[in-house]
């Protein structure tokens, strides 16, 4: 498991995977130039290409392995089918301009589209996802379209449609919440689990990223969630690699876990438009080392264990996907 964890950490930190020519994998459905790789009890989703990549997928008979700079970092690799965005789960972004990137963008700091995907479109996509394979859960996220209230209403409409069509389906929602009534609306519509993101581990960094937002508001909304959800059915993502210390991260992990909220720890991306956003806000970007990511994941596991929280009991969104982060109790 330790070897698999280090291999996954290296893949999360690195670039694309180059595929061997003629690779054929029955039952695998690459989406948007990505694949989900599984090895040593870990999963990771990567961009793939037949032309170039920092990593190399090698095939020897039926055995797959992943290599970097002439060294093998993962063996016994399998490529997992994806339903919609991730294995066994249909994860939808209601914002069409950020469709396919649902893990990051429920923050008001990033402008959303002028209109959101319709309920009918969601149901059509869900039908397509279910035709690809087993869908065990459905999840929603969105940028802010108009205002937080109207965006939550649209999300609730989508949730209600899925709940009516699939009464036993696990449904999760990642939403930017500004009022407790929005939580109640989503719960009444049929969600089982909720994620309200806190952003980062330090107030001063948050205020650079979101100068017009209230740092304490997500914590207040997470506290309000306890009126609607059992412990361990609430989660919150925050990013590291933004100039915070390990102690800052540990304090944030403890704060969320003490609230019976599962902390989702995610490395800030240091390329593309994410980097442009952070630098525009005056945040110096320096990608954390693989060893730091593994160390912080250990702190994350310790914090959850201290408070009796286990992500294996959270059945939607990132914990059950396991593809983008080092996930305690799953990966190690």
Give pLDDT tens digits for 5-58.
999 999 999 999 999 988 877 655 555 689 999 999 999 999 999 999 999 999
Shared-domain flag, residues 310 and 174: yes
Out of 51, 80, 109, a domain closes at 80
Confidence of residue 323 (pLDDT cuts 50, 70, 90): very high
**At residue 104, does pLDDT exceed 80?**
no
Q: Enumerate residues 6+ apart whose C-beta is below 8 A from 300.
A: 253, 263, 265, 328
Q: Which of 75-89, 136-150, 164-178 has the lowest mean pLDDT?
A: 136-150
What is the residue-wise DSSP string for 290-315? HHHHHHHHHHHHHHHHHTT--GGG--
Q: Which of 99-113, 179-193, 239-253 has the lowest mean pLDDT?
A: 99-113
- The verdict on residue 27 lying in a domain is yes
pLDDT the model gives residue 106: 42
pLDDT the model gives residue 99: 41
**At residue 260, does pLDDT exceed 60?**
yes
Shared-domain flag, residues 203 and 73: no
Q: Nearest to residue 152, comparing CAs of 174, 125, 172?
A: 174
Read off the pLDDT of each residue in 139-162 and give the average, rounded to a whole number: 88
Q: Which of 26-30, 186-190, 262-266 has the lowest mean pLDDT?
A: 26-30
pLDDT the model gives residue 30: 53
Read off the pLDDT of each residue in 312-330 and give the average, rounded to a whole number: 95
Shared-domain flag, residues 76 and 92: no
Q: What is the CATH number of the domain that holds 255?
A: 3.20.20.70
Q: What is the DSSP letter of 142?
A: -
Q: Nearest to residue 183, comparing CAs of 150, 141, 137, 152?
A: 152
pLDDT the model gives residue 118: 86
| Coil, helix or strand at residue 126 | helix
Strands (E), 81-182: 85-86, 89-93, 137-141, 170-174
Give pLDDT tens digits for 55-81.
999 999 889 999 999 999 999 999 998
Read off the pLDDT of each residue in 108-120 and give the average, rounded to a whole number: 62
Domain of 36 in residue numbering reads as 2-80
Shared-domain flag, residues 97 and 61: no
pLDDT, greater one: 189 or 145: 189
**At residue 111, does pLDDT exceed 70?**
no
For 54, phi and psi rounded to 5 degrees?
-70, -30
Length of the chain: 332
pLDDT the model gives residue 170: 97
Confidence of residue 2 (pLDDT cuts 50, 70, 90): confident
Out of 61, 80, 99, a domain closes at 80
- The verdict on residue 329 lying in a domain is no
Shared-domain flag, residues 109 and 57: no
Shared-domain flag, residues 147 and 50: no
- The verdict on residue 258 lying in a domain is yes
- The verdict on residue 262 lying in a domain is yes
Distances (CA, A) of 253 to 111, 216, 269, 279, 285: 28, 15, 20, 25, 22
Strands (E), the chain: 17-18, 34-39, 42-49, 55-60, 63-68, 71-80, 85-86, 89-93, 137-141, 170-174, 193-195, 199-200, 234-240, 262-267
Rounded Cα distance between 252 and 246, Å, is 10
Q: Nearest to residue 285, comparing CAs of 294, 296, 274?
A: 274
Shared-domain flag, residues 138 and 196: yes
Confidence of residue 84 (pLDDT cuts 50, 70, 90): confident
Shared-domain flag, residues 89 and 73: no
Confidence of residue 283 (pLDDT cuts 50, 70, 90): confident
Out of 47, 80, 113, a domain closes at 80
**At residue 115, does pLDDT exceed 70?**
no
pTM: 0.90
Q: Nearest to residue 182, comparing CAs of 161, 152, 155, 159?
A: 152
Total structural domains within the chain: 2
Q: What is the mean pLDDT of the chain?
A: 88
Shared-domain flag, residues 12 and 113: no
Shared-domain flag, residues 14 and 137: no
Burial class (CB in 10 A: 0-12, 13-18, 19+), 237: buried
Shared-domain flag, residues 72 and 160: no
Shared-domain flag, residues 303 and 229: yes
């Amino acid at each position: 498991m330790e070897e698999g964890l280090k291999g996954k950490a290296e893949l999360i930190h690195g670039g694309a995977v180059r595929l061997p020519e003629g690779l054929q994998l029955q039952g695998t459905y690459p989406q948007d130039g990505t694949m989900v790789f599984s090895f040593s009890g870990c999963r990771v989703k990567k961009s793939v290409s037949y032309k170039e990549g920092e990593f190399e997928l090698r095939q020897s008979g039926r055995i797959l392995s992943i290599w970097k700079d002439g060294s093998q970092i993962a063996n016994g690799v399998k490529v997992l089918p994806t339903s919609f965005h991730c294995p066994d789960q249909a994860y939808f972004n209601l914002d069409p301009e950020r469709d396919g990137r649902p893990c990051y963008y429920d923050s008001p700091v990033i402008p959303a589209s002028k209109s959101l995907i319709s309920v009918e479109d969601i149901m059509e996509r869900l039908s397509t996802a279910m035709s690809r394979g087993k869908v065990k859960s459905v999840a929603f996220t969105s940028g802010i379209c108009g205002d937080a209230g109207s965006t939550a209403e649209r999300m609730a409409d989508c949730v209600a449609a899925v709940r009516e069509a699939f009464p036993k389906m696990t449904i999760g929602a990642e939403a930017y919440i500004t009022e407790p009534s929005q939580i109640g609306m989503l719960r009444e519509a049929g969600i089982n689990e909720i994620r309200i993101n806190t952003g980062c581990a330090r107030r001063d960094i948050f205020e650079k990223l979101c100068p017009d937002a209230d740092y304490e508001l997500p914590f207040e909304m997470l506290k309000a969630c306890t009126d609607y959800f059992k412990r361990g059915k609430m989660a919150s993502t925050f990013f590291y690699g933004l100039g915070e210390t390990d102690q800052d991260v540990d304090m944030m992990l403890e704060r969320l876990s003490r609230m019976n909220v599962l902390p989702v720890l995610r490395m800030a991306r240091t390329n593309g438009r994410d980097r442009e956003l952070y630098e525009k806000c005056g945040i110096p970007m320096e990608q954390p080392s693989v060893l730091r990511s593994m160390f912080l994941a250990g702190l994350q596991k310790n914090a959850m264990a201290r408070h009796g929280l286990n992500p294996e009991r959270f059945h939607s969104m990132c914990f059950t996907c396991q593809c983008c982060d080092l996930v305690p109790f799953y990966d190690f």
